[in-house]
Every structure is written in C-alpha cells, then in structure tokens.
Structure 1
Amino acid sequence: MGKLIKNHWARLIILTASAYQVLASIEGFFWPKFFWDFLTTNLDHAVRPIPFLQIANLLFGLLGLCWEWPLPLFTTVATGTRYKNAALQGGQSQATGGDHRKSESSAGRSSQKPGPVKRFLAGMHRSIEARLMIYPLSSLLALLLYQGTNAGLYYIIGMGVYFWGFTEGEEIMGKPWQLPRARRRPRGANRVWA
C-alpha cells in the first residue's frame, strides 16, 4: 500500500465541510436559528432581522470551496507552469528556425513575473499555515448557526488532518491532487551519535 497523503485527505474533508456550510447558510436564510438559543436569546439578532451570520457562513463556505478546489489562475502561478511553457515554446521556435523576433517578444511578454496579488494568492493556496489560521474562524461561524453544526465538526477534523500533515513536513503542491514533497532535512539530522 502507498503512504497516506494527509493534505489530500484534509482537502476532501474541508471541501465537504465548505459545501455543507454553503447549503446550511442558504437554509438559514429561510429558517433562521442560532444554535445556542436554548441558553440565551440575546444572540438571536445575529440571524434575524438582518442575516449577518448566514451571510458570513456563505462567504466563508465559498472561500473554503475556492481555496480547496482552486481556479487555474492561482495554480498556474503557484506551479510556474506558464513560465516554463513559455520558455519551452521560445526555445522550440528558435530551434526550428522560426521568426526570432516573434518568439523573443512572445517569450518576453509571457515570462514576466506575476503581480503581487497573484503571488499572494498562489502563496495562500500552497500554505498549510494559512489554512490553519482561517479554518478555525470558519468552524466557529458554522458552529454558531443551527444548520451548520455538522460543517463545524468537519472543519475541526479537517484541521486536525492538516496539522498532522504539517507536522510530518508535507507541502501542498501548486496543482491540485499532485503528490506532495516532504521537506528536506539537513544532512545528519536523523543520525544518532553514540
């Protein structure tokens, strides 16, 4: 059997939690109920007359869906495939004797570095630490809404699996479902001295 890749497993759990949170927030618009209303009714203003909690759950659920199943825009910036492909295309056209000016201008234009927003989004996509900072808030919001308690529990399980993968040195690759690399340790780090 192969090795369990924790960040893939956690990604599936968080995708399930995010989808559940989106559906729970939509249901919460029609039947607004705060989960802890059996203890106090002071917090019922979070769900009605203005649905603050439902809107927050909808936004964080959509964020989780987009983060765990990212758009190709973010993954190409994170992996750098666009820039590698542009360099290969420029080299092929020069090797085949094509128009050098055209290949140089197209390679130069597509090999420009991405802007700071794209680099930030690509870094967020590949960061387990950022996920471990944002998902507790998503879990809390889901646990406060009556319909979203299961999503909150799924978030907690997913965060535990992400933390497990983080402690073992896993990295999230730029392209979804690609095999992760383990962080390299310096030479002699595992050596036991007698």
Structure 2
Amino acid sequence: MPKLVDHEERRAHIVDALLRAAARDGLHAVTMRSVAVEADVSVRLVQYYFDTKERLLLATLERLAVRMGERVRDRVRAAGASTAPRDIVEAVLLEAVPTDEESRTFHLVYTEYAVLSVTDPALGGGSFLAGPAEMEDLLIAQLAAAQRAGDADPGLDARQEAVILLAVSAGLGLSVLLGQRAAGDAAAVLRYHLARIFTGGVKSGAATVR
C-alpha cells in the first residue's frame, strides 16, 4: 500500500529549509533551487507546493508570524501564574530580542523581509503588516488595563506609549543582531523603561533573559 503524503508536513519542511538558507546566506540569495537543495528535494517538488518564489516567501512569512505568537504565549506562561499586564507587555517586548538560534533566525529573516517589502509590493501586505498591528493592539489593551488597576501612570497615552515600546524593542533587537550589545543588556534597557511606566520600580534580575 503506498505511503500517504502529508502535504502540510512537506510544505513546512520546505519553508523551514528556506529559513535555514536565508539565515545562513541572506534572503536576497535564496532561490527555488537553493531551497530545494537545502530541503533535499527536487526543484519540481518545491514548485508543486509553491509555484512562485513570492508564494514561498509569503508562506515563510506567515510561518514566522505564527511562531512568534507561539513564543510570546510560551514566554507569558513561563512567567508563572501571574498574567499581570506588565508581565504580558514584558513578554511581548522581550520576544523582539534575539536570545537563541531560533529567535535570531526569526529576527534576521524578518528584518530582511522588511527591507525587501519596501521595493516589492507583493511582500508588503498580509501577515507582514498584520503582525505588528496585532502586537500594538495587545500592548494598548494591557497598558490600559494596568492604568485601570492603578498599576501604571494614569497620565500616559496608551496608544502612543505602545508605539514607542515597539519601536524601542525593535531597535534593541537590531542592535543585538548587529553585535552592538548583548541580549541581557537589551533586556535590562527594556525593563528599565517599563519601570518608568508601571508602578513597582525595576524588577530584580533585570539582565536575565528567559
């Protein structure tokens, strides 16, 4: 009896191969053939699942967005039983700091997508724009919840502060990718800024990244 093909598994295998190739050689160097070599499959098979390079790139971007959401949820759960707004905000922001091989690959490839999307309209919509917008909405909601609970400065503008926090975390993440500072130092800067927003001061172990 012939073995049944798991098409989703094959698609995921090809997408993961693109991520590895892009992290090693740069997204600009990725081709359908190089992805096929990395995945140890034929070019024809890659084209069967993704008929154009753009479709393959978009599928990979969607995978990155899903995985980032999973990592944020994992980080929130790792914080313990408390799901206070500050813990959730911190978890979201710290996910912008590359702390392991997977997150380094994510941020490196995602940054390259951002650059490519400036000149390639096909990469400028969908998940690429939805992800940051969802993060911004989440931060706004958590900041507002903290204000209602008396755990954050009541005078701050939650929407403006969310934009600032995301910009700061993205910049710090890039500085870690470039080797300008260590991940622990970037996390300490984020926690320092959060201590100015939330009551309770700077958390202990500020340089620890989970």
Please state which band the TM-score falls in when normalised by the shorter chain. Answer: under 0.3
- Normalised to the residue count of structure 1, the TM-score between the two structures is 0.25
- Normalised to the residue count of structure 2, the TM-score between the two structures is 0.23
Q: Which has the higher contact order (CA 8 A, sep 6+)?
A: 1
Q: Which has the larger radius of gyration?
A: 1
